[in-house]
Amino acid sequence: MSRLHRNEDQRKESDCEMCRRVALLLAIVLCVPSIAPCVWVSAILVTFSNTGVEYVFSANREDIYSSTGDRYTIEKDLYVGYTCDIELYHHNYTGTTKRFGVALYNHNGSSATIIVHARVINDSSIGEYNELQMTAPLVENYVLGAGSTAITTPACGYAYLMYRDVSHNMLVNGKAKVTANRDGVLIRVFHGPQNVSPGTVFTYTRDTQHDPNLTTATVGNAANKRLKITPNWAGGAPAADVVFWTPTYGWLMSDAP
């Protein structure tokens, strides 16, 4: 082999080694959370598609006081062909034990069956450490399908999806994933007295004492639609970020103003 060929081969090998080092450095920068936890949304075109999953989240207001009374926080009709993820997250500051949960109302003329793919609910003492010790295993059990069952409600009948009686000064967190065999079954997240029946839950009025810095939202069919989120600056927050995940780009973060 000539000296010219040897020099050319050595140059190519050096270039390849440099490419490998750059690729490794880029992988470290993108994967280590402390360096670059998210990709900025402003640099990526995001397109939503409908996966047949809806989400109901109750955490507004997050803190429930005695002055709030017995209320429901959010409700949603179930539809055939859609999976609904439901989550509630509240602190009980009412001074007494109170029931938090999700009730069902079948307003059809025939029975309906709700398939529960997962259902978990628990409470803990207030404080970040205590709450983490409760919520982390709760999420794990939810992902593993704990509490799966089927609930059949008669025509114009009521049932509980889940509930927990929560002592004063405690946090409650519940998660469920459900599908229905017919349209028109209403789910309602509520807080009331310990002995409340699911039927009574549907006589409650909505809790409208919202925390201005939080948003309780129902996210449904987002196929081919743009999602606009405008923070409520009246609450006094100096900035806001939106962090979400997509299967194509992973974790994304909005630009804070």
Residue 88 lies in a domain: yes
Higher pLDDT, 189 or 253: 189
Q: Residue 183 domain-assigned?
A: yes
Q: How confident is the model at residue 248 (pLDDT cuts 50, 70, 90)?
A: low
Q: What's the pLDDT at 117?
A: 97
Q: What is the pLDDT of residues 181-232, one digit of tens each?
A: 999 999 999 999 999 999 999 999 998 765 544 444 555 555 666 666 665 5
pLDDT tens-place string over residues 1-52: 555 444 555 554 545 454 444 444 334 334 444 434 444 444 455 555 666 6
Q: Are residues 58 and 73 in the same domain?
A: yes
Task: Please tell me whether residues 8 and 96 are part of one structural domain.
Answer: no
Instruction: Give yes or no: residues 108 and 198 share one domain.
Output: yes
What is the pTM for the complete model shown? Answer: 0.66
Going by their DSSP bridges, the two strands 112-125 and 170-180 should be labelled as antiparallel
> End of a domain among 31, 46, 61?
46
Do 120 and 227 lie in one domain? The reply is: yes
Which is higher by pLDDT, 146 or 17?
146
Instruction: Specify the number of domains making up the chain.
Output: 2
**Model pLDDT for residues 94-134, shown as the tens digit of each residue:** 999 999 999 999 999 999 999 999 999 999 988 777 888 88
Measured distance CA(205)–CA(47) in Å, rounded? 37
Find the domain containing 107 and state its range: 53-231
Whether residues 126 and 214 fall in one domain: yes
The answer to the question of residue 241 being in a domain is no
User: Is residue 236 one of the residues assigned to a domain?
Assistant: no
- Whether residues 9 and 63 share a domain: the answer is no
Q: Are residues 106 and 18 in the same domain?
A: no
